[in-house]
Structure 1
């Protein structure tokens, strides 16, 4: 048993330098301490990165066409509710009277504090995974199809509209303009100034930011048309088993004043507010991942070995530079060589 233990002690896959051939110095000790501190820092960063994971973004083909998608809207239009007509029409010519599910509440028009008014909406940033998970509180509007105080100067329109996941548009126009209606809005009463609190697609997450949220347009033109073009990308967020299936969209806008034909005195368009949308055939998946544990261990070993090798070469280069600039005597100062080597021992004199 003792012989086996000695053999194990003697065997070393990475043989060390014998003590009698080692030289100590303050510079070497300092470099060793710095190397260990740097290695511990890298180890701490790698462990934190392994625990925290990383965010993986992928695009896949979206082969599911939903028929239960909703448009969530909360906005104020500077026109009485009794004068407003809402409608949804998609590429299949399927029409849906949005007024049957939306809520119309007559109020006085105002622009909430902090809204961006008459600013171009040309920038949108994909929210971070942590932000989405923290703000993913799903909600629903308390009521639907309610109409209150329709004679007030402005109309608060809010609710969810069921639509198909195909190209289409949601329109807000005046009664009698573009559609046959029992009543016709007087020309002087048209005013499509509006403020949008919420406009999103899919499940209603009121705390997630969208390009049209907290925006608005103010106009003095009676025949003004506001057109918003949205390209919607279905997006799935996944973290720690929690999935948030939502939609994000980029936006372009086009606004113009409808002209009147000088001869027939007919309008060459329909004034109103138009939200045109088109769904992309891809789906973005953003999920948090973590590398396998075995791969993490191999990575740690590789990094630690690389740090030691690099530190050794840097120290040798440092010593060489000192010799070149200051000489060997300066470099040898403060060095301490261990005793016990063959050259350190005095050989006995040979007797005659």
Structure 2
């Protein structure tokens, strides 16, 4: 019994007989309001506990030798697919022209409806007996080795497609002044394809695999002609119209998608006015690692962008096209998704209940004593 009495003396919450309670209207109002506040804060804290929180950390990016996937989906409403080429260049000297693998082009009519979808280039129809390197036509059971029309760099070089002939001429620095005389281009219907696509647009989507160094990739109308050495007067009459580089970026991202990522160029568009030229996007890529709450890890990137248009009237005259210049930030961002602990949640609930209860008590005491003071002064005749 002595121990129980000692424990009784340690009671931090002494009870008051109900006969000494004094309940007031203002106290009831404050109790209802404080209860509503506690309930709202409880719901808010519970939602934060149930949903994961993301912690952000910045570190120096020391990775080397990595590759980067550039995912894109861009629509050119006034540029035929045959005239549209994709090229990449980086500061390490790696260059790729007229890229066709992992890329799909969709021909669009003037209303934006899809006419045809094809992988990479225009494709070549099967035609019997193409022109051989030795000057004759392909015979039965003979291996095909097309002529490069004098642009061969070695005795065993073959040009089996229009693209290979154009590439050979480009390396020689020669002008392809009579493209209709090139058997490969005629077989593939390259120039007829350009005539057939007059007035059309093009949607191009896919991805590029590039080195993780500064560089650029661009979508250029007629770029392949300039690389092949074909002069402007050898192109079709509608080429000037095809240089309209109005475009809409449906999607552009660097690497895999992760929760919360915002790609600032998605659904961006630019309409060309009366002048022609080069539209440039300058992109700062920020390497990013996302750690999911279930342990999965995503290596990706975020980016910021600025835009600039170079008119064709400036010198040197820019090649028309849409250019994306990208550079990498030396800082890597790490997002870590995690849930709050149950102990943290209980601590927050105690803080909410105790804090609101204490503040409500202070307000109630202030109102109660203030009302009593005013009442006494009225009884003494100081207030009427």
- Normalising by structure 2, we get a TM-score of 0.63
Match for 2:375 among 316, 326, 334? 326
User: Which residue does 2:122 correspond to in 1?
Assistant: 147
In the aligned structure 1, how far is the partner of 2:47 from the partner of 2:348? 14
Q: In structure 2, the residue corresponding to 1:93 is in which secondary structure?
A: coil
User: Which residue does 1:289 correspond to in 2?
Assistant: 338
Match for 2:210 among 163, 174, 181? 163
User: Which residue does 1:48 correspond to in 2?
Assistant: 47
**Does the 8 A contact of 1:88 with 1:171 survive in 2?**
yes
User: Which residue does 1:251 correspond to in 2?
Assistant: 305
Rate the CA distance shift 1:41–1:218 in 2: closer, same or farther, 3 A. Answer: closer
User: Which residue does 1:235 correspond to in 2?
Assistant: 288
Q: In structure 2, the residue corresponding to 1:180 is in which secondary structure?
A: helix
User: Which residue does 1:24 correspond to in 2?
Assistant: 22
User: Which residue does 1:278 correspond to in 2?
Assistant: 327
In the aligned structure 2, how far is the partner of 1:14 from the partner of 1:26? 25
**Does the 8 A contact of 1:72 with 1:161 survive in 2?**
yes
Q: In structure 1, the residue corresponding to 2:120 is in which secondary structure?
A: coil
Rate the CA distance shift 1:291–1:76 in 2: closer, same or farther, 3 A. Answer: closer
Q: In structure 1, the residue corresponding to 2:99 is in which secondary structure?
A: helix
Q: How far is the alpha carbon of 1:170 from its aligned partner? A: 0.8
User: Which residue does 2:252 correspond to in 1?
Assistant: 199
C-alpha RMSD over aligned residues: 3.7
In the aligned structure 2, how far is the partner of 1:34 from the partner of 1:68? 59
Kindly provide the CA deviation profile for residues 64-104 of structure 1, in whole angstroms up to 9, marking residues without a partner as x: 24532111222233333333333100111211235232334
Kindly provide the CA deviation profile for residues 31-78 of structure 1, in whole angstroms up to 9, marking residues without a partner as x: 455545544443343333222243333333222245321112222333
Q: As a proportion of its length, which structure holds more helix?
A: 2
Counterparts of 1:90-105 in structure 2, within 5 Å, are 90-101=90-101, 102-105=103-106
In the aligned structure 1, how far is the partner of 2:372 from the partner of 2:323? 78
Deviates more, 1:142-151 or 1:30-39: 142-151
User: Which residue does 2:82 correspond to in 1?
Assistant: 82
Unaligned runs of 5+ in 2: 124-189, 380-384
Q: How far is the alpha carbon of 1:143 from its aligned partner? A: 8.0
Number of residue pairs matched?
Answer: 293
User: Which residue does 2:10 correspond to in 1?
Assistant: 12
User: Which residue does 2:362 correspond to in 1?
Assistant: 313
